[in-house]
Amino acid sequence: MADKKTTEAPKKTVKTVKKVESVRQEGAQTTAPKTKTATAAKAATPVAAADKAGAKSKRIIAVIFWVLAIVCEVLALLVFIGKMDLRFIPQLTQLIIFLVIDFIFVVIGAQFWKKANHMDPVSEENKVKFWLWNNMGVIVCCFAFIPFLIYVLFIDKEADPKMKKVASIVAAVALVLGIGLSYDWNPVSQEGLAQAEATLDGTDVYWTQFGSVYHIDQNCQHLNRSSELYQGDVATAIANSKTRLCKTCAKNYGIEIDANGAITSIAAPLNSVLEDASAAAEEAVEEVPAA
């Protein structure tokens, strides 16, 4: 008996059973306009009003935490010079507590700030402004510890040596760790987001709870050990701090990325590439003669 002629293109086989949760920002489109071009990708993408409102709220929360951090620095300084004393707690312990809380508030504020910048990125046209805006947490961290260190190390010459040593070590360690945790290692720009949206052309991407990478293929080899994935458009992925495209996915789909995993160029929108590939597969199957 002759085999039946196949008319459908072959489909990928799911390697593992995974729970995929769809995540979308309010007002996000599920399909990008088909008229996007490489030139249009360089223009800034308008951010939905809901995204801007959410980003604004997070920036306000960040500023509140940063103000509290500066307050803790002042309190630590008052304890150091003996102007404030919680008598039921040793002076050195008080000092360490205020410096640690200062550090915690700085880092929490920085995480809210970075999250807001991923939701509502700024243009990188002005490189200096772009860096300063994305790393505001680093600047605040310096303000939260450097003045204290300057006073302890260079101004107060009569402080207890042990108190001075401990205070300077704790503040210096908090400063270094705070800068590292507050720095945005993968900042997002308006232009970068527009480029990613134009390239992926409404195609959903996948990511896990941890890490900073998103994937085009839910069966990517780097997701083999992930039992739960999140699915949504690239803007939603970036808003959730997944700022880098998987290198394997980029290679498999012919997408150029920079060292930070940001999409740098677009030959054709991904949807167009996939549609052409699907059409070619269907034509190849139709040309197979019946046995």
**Span of 71-75, 83-87, 218-222, 263-267 with lowest mean pLDDT:** 263-267
The answer to whether residue 9 is domain-embedded is: no
- At 121, give phi and psi (nearest 5°): -70, 160
Return the structure tokens found at 244.
Answer: 């880098």
Query: Can you give the residue range of the structural domain that contains 88?
Result: 49-182
CB 249 within 8 A of CB 216: yes
The answer to whether residue 31 is domain-embedded is: no
pLDDT of 35: 30
The answer to whether residue 19 is domain-embedded is: no
pLDDT tens sequence across 19-46: 677 776 654 444 333 333 332 333 333 4
The answer to whether residue 127 is domain-embedded is: yes
163 and 193 in one domain? no
The answer to whether residue 68 is domain-embedded is: yes
- In percent, the amount of the chain with pLDDT more than 70 equals 75
pLDDT at residue 9 greater than cutoff 80: no
pLDDT, the chain, mean: 82
CB 3 within 8 A of CB 291: yes
Compare 49 and 172 and report the one with higher pLDDT.
172
251 and 278 in one domain? yes
The answer to whether residue 74 is domain-embedded is: yes
pLDDT of 261: 84
176 and 59 in one domain? yes
The answer to whether residue 280 is domain-embedded is: yes
pLDDT at residue 132 greater than cutoff 70: yes
171 and 220 in one domain? no
The burial class, CB within 10 Å (0-12 / 13-18 / 19+), for 260 is middle
pLDDT tens sequence across 143-161: 999 999 999 999 998 889 9
213 and 154 in one domain? no
Compare 33 and 99 and report the one with higher pLDDT.
99
178 and 199 in one domain? no
148 and 209 in one domain? no
Domain boundary among 161, 182, 203: 182
97 and 195 in one domain? no
Domain count within the chain? 2
Q: Which long-range contacts (CB under 8 A, 24 or more apart) does 247-250 make?
A: 248/220, 248/221, 248/222, 249/215, 249/216, 249/217, 249/220
For 284, other C-beta atoms within 10 Å of its C-beta total 10
pLDDT at residue 210 greater than cutoff 80: yes
Domain boundary among 167, 182, 197: 182
174 and 231 in one domain? no
109 and 224 in one domain? no
Mean pLDDT of 155-179: 95
149 and 253 in one domain? no
The answer to whether residue 265 is domain-embedded is: yes
115 and 138 in one domain? yes
Residues in contact with 92: Cβ distance below 8 Å, sequence separation at least 6, in sequence order = 162, 163, 166
Domain boundary among 182, 204, 219: 182
